[in-house]
Chain A
Amino acid sequence: MVHKKILPIVFWVLLWQAVSMWIAQDLILVSPCAVGLRLLELMQEASFWKSILFSASRILGGFFLAAGIGILAAITAARFAWCRALLTPMTAAIKATPVASFIILVLFWFSSEWLSVLISFLMVFPFIYANVLQGISDMDKQLLEMGQVFALSYGKKIRYLYAPQVFPYLRAAFATGLGMCWKAGTAAEVIGIPDGSIGERLQEAKIYLQMPDLFAWTVVIIVVSLLVEKVILWLLDWCDRSNKRGAFW
């Protein structure tokens, strides 16, 4: 099982190494060994960790804000048709608008320090909203009737009926949103260049033609993004399992 996951990665890294050796110009394609060494150097600097903390806190802040508001908006939209009518064109517009337009607009209105929070929020909100709304709309009508006949309280309806059925939709939205918020968030930072962010480090690497730094920071973004995604999805699954086991009550 582990082999099936690791071997393809090893293959692509080896291919990368071969191509970089064939090109033999670090300015065009740096080798994975050079990137690894640079990464080890960076990890010894406090500013490396501060940059990760700075970007992660803002990008994930935007993500969780989008998750909270998206879930509430979906519940309201499922209950009130007027809310659904209001939100549908707004979320469609957000989805269709290029992220670069949002970045420039936000830079006009706010400080670049909070840019990645807003961009992360804007990228994730439509997915959370749409998926949770779909989950509520697809609720099993027979189970809802059962809840009505047995006069289940609101809390029990959420726990026994809604949570298990909406969970797969929410999980799918989280999986998509977590990848997107990192991509959009760091892109925003590269344009807005907030002090102490990963985006600023990427921009510096570009300006000073530091290819090992550019690749090292890209690897950092990939690793942090995947780690965060794994942890959050694991927590989500744990909550779902615990709810079904009755561990919370």
Chain B
Amino acid sequence: MIRLQHVSKQYGEYIIFSDFSYEIEDGARLCIMGRSGRGKTTLLRMLLNLEKPDHGYIEGIKDKKIRAVFQENRLLPDFSVRENLRCVCRTKQQTAQISKMLEKLDLTAWEHQPVSVLSGGMQRRIAIGRALLAESDILVFDEPFSGLDLQTKRNMVQVILEYAKEKILIVTTHMPEDVALLGAKVLQIDETKF
């Protein structure tokens, strides 16, 4: 379980979170919704330990393997699709899963191509596949479906749900349909600040 306890965060004069508390159950699927600039990404960055709360603390993430799909894909542009997936594999068993993952991402034909030549949607799928392939306890996806058409999005939701079983899955989105597709609870964060 993840517990955010009295978390406050501000950038300069702009308050993002003020005395914000929330609990996320083990195995939960959670969609964080809210308008742009309301702190969805900041919350994910705090969960990923890339930023610290100004006040308060987050319990249940220490020693946990938290993997992410960032808002930007953050792929290795000069490396092949396969190498981008391989870079997060730590065991032979994980490495052996790459081909299966490529099939699920519908990228087998492109596996030896450098990522930089692929379309935005393909790159997004690789970013999702990379996060799913890495060993993890918690998955944190920041607008994972941006740039994907509806059919591809549906396929990706199936892949995510298959790999995210029994893990905490946290997804930020603007789209109510994503909540339904993922069967997730909603955390609306517009009201978390003064």
Residues of A within 8 A of B (CB): 142-143, 145-146, 148-152, 156, 160-161, 164, 244-246
27 A/B residue pairs, CB under 8 Å, sorted by A = A142-B70, A143-B74, A145-B50, A145-B70, A145-B74, A146-B70, A146-B74, A148-B50, A149-B50, A150-B67, A150-B87, A150-B130, A151-B65, A160-B83, A160-B87, A161-B76, A164-B76, A164-B79, A244-B78, A244-B79, A244-B80, A244-B114, A245-B83, A246-B79, A246-B80, A246-B83, A246-B86
A150 and B87 CA atoms in complex are apart in Å by: 9
Number of A-B contacts (CB under 8 A): 45
Chain A residues closer than 8 Å to B160, beta-carbon distance: none
| Shortest distance between the CB of A182 and any CB in chain B (Å) | 31
| Shortest distance between the CB of A158 and any CB in chain B (Å) | 12
Contact between B76 and A150, CB atoms less than 8 A apart: no
Q: Is B134 on the interface with A (CB-CB < 8 A)?
A: yes
Q: Is B88 on the interface with A (CB-CB < 8 A)?
A: yes
Chain A residues closer than 8 Å to B134, beta-carbon distance: 150
Q: A164-B78, A164-B79 are in contact. List 16 more A-B contacts (CB 8 A).
A: A142-B72, A143-B76, A145-B50, A145-B74, A149-B50, A149-B68, A150-B130, A151-B65, A152-B87, A160-B79, A160-B83, A244-B78, A245-B80, A245-B83, A246-B80, A246-B86
Residues of B within 8 A of A (CB): 48, 50, 65-68, 70, 72, 74, 76, 78-80, 82-83, 86-88, 114, 130, 134
A150 and B48 CA atoms in complex are apart in Å by: 10
Contact between B87 and A156, CB atoms less than 8 A apart: yes
Chain A residues closer than 8 Å to B66, beta-carbon distance: 149
| Shortest distance between the CB of A9 and any CB in chain B (Å) | 34
Contact between B76 and A160, CB atoms less than 8 A apart: yes
Pick from A146, A151, A156 the residue with the most CB of B within 10 Å: A146
A161 and B75 CA atoms in complex are apart in Å by: 10
A149 and B86 CA atoms in complex are apart in Å by: 15
Chain B residues closer than 8 Å to A143, beta-carbon distance: 74, 76
Chain B residues closer than 8 Å to A161, beta-carbon distance: 76
Chain A residues closer than 8 Å to B74, beta-carbon distance: 142-143, 145-146
| Shortest distance between the CB of A177 and any CB in chain B (Å) | 24
Chain B residues closer than 8 Å to A149, beta-carbon distance: 48, 50, 66-68
Chain B residues closer than 8 Å to A246, beta-carbon distance: 79-80, 82-83, 86
Closest to B83 in A: A246
| Shortest distance between the CB of A167 and any CB in chain B (Å) | 9
Chain B residues closer than 8 Å to A160, beta-carbon distance: 76, 79, 83, 87
A150 and B65 CA atoms in complex are apart in Å by: 8
Pick from B76, B79, B83 the residue with the most CB of A within 10 Å: B76
Pick from A143, A149, A156, A160 the residue with the most CB of B within 10 Å: A149
Pick from B67, B68, B78 the residue with the most CB of A within 10 Å: B78
A149 and B76 CA atoms in complex are apart in Å by: 15
Chain B residues closer than 8 Å to A142, beta-carbon distance: 70, 72, 74
A152 and B90 CA atoms in complex are apart in Å by: 9
Chain A residues closer than 8 Å to B67, beta-carbon distance: 149-150
Chain A residues closer than 8 Å to B130, beta-carbon distance: 150
A245 and B79 CA atoms in complex are apart in Å by: 7
Chain A residues closer than 8 Å to B79, beta-carbon distance: 160, 164, 244, 246
Closest to B45 in A: A145
Closest to A145 in B: B50
Contact between B83 and A244, CB atoms less than 8 A apart: yes
Chain A residues closer than 8 Å to B86, beta-carbon distance: 246
Chain B residues closer than 8 Å to A150, beta-carbon distance: 67, 87-88, 130, 134
